[in-house]
Amino acid sequence: MNKFNALVATTLIAAAGTSSTQAADRRYPIAYVQKVEITEPSRRTAWEDKDFLDCDDVVLTEEDVRYALQHMRRVSWNAYAPENTDTTGCKGSALVTFKNGRILAMGIEPTGRISTGELDSKMNSTASPPGFYECDPCRERKMKLLKDALYRADDRRLKKLEAEGKIPPGEAERRLKTLRAGR
């Protein structure tokens, strides 16, 4: 019976750990959101890579912000840093006002990387440190919506390689068909 109890306890601990890694940050409950204001639907950062995705194709919506609040999980700066992770170089910004007057400034990338800062009702920064989050469900959702934009980026990249002579003539079209079939 002791081995069985130990096995059950181990299983429950593992399940709790797995579910908490995908849980939203409890400090920002979606039920207490009063207003979402998109301040910058799309902007380029120094990391923009048009061969991967053109920032003009990426627009942050209120639905994206609400989805992120439900699914984001906190990570360290090292896990968030652009040097250590994939980034498109595109980011949208939003202000989320909660019923208690707290305001959360969010920067959301299509890859699910999220940066936050807390503000008071007078738009002054609070003592809370900036937050860094990842949202795998957000990335999967947004990238499905951006499938056409990703195809256009692939097309630009392959045609550029073909024009530079780095791949044989006609190879760009063949590779593009293969990429589209693979998605």
DSSP secondary structure, 91-126, as one string: EEEEEEEETTS-EEEEEE-TTSEEEEEEE-TTS-B-
Q: Which residues of the chain have pLDDT under 50?
A: 1-22
Helix, strand, coil percent values for the chain (each to nearest 5):
45, 20, 35
Q: How many CA atoms lie within 13 A of 165 on its CB side?
A: 0
Identify the pLDDT of residue 96.
97
Identify the pLDDT of residue 14.
40
Q: What are 75's two structure tokens? A: 């990570």
Q: What are 116's two structure tokens? A: 């936050």
Nearest to 58 by CA among 50, 68, 66: 50
Maximum distance among all alpha carbons in the chain? 70
Identify the pLDDT of residue 18.
38
Helix (H, G, I), strand (E, B) or coil at 5: helix
Per-domain residue ranges of the chain: 24-145, 147-183
Cβ contact 35:97 at 8 Å: yes
Cα–Cα distance for residue pair 68/113, rounded to 1 Å: 10
Cα–Cα distance for residue pair 89/76, rounded to 1 Å: 19
> Which residues make Cβ contacts (< 8 Å) with residue 75, sequence separation at least 6?
132, 133, 134
Cα–Cα distance for residue pair 135/67, rounded to 1 Å: 9
Identify the pLDDT of residue 5.
40
Cβ contact 121:63 at 8 Å: no
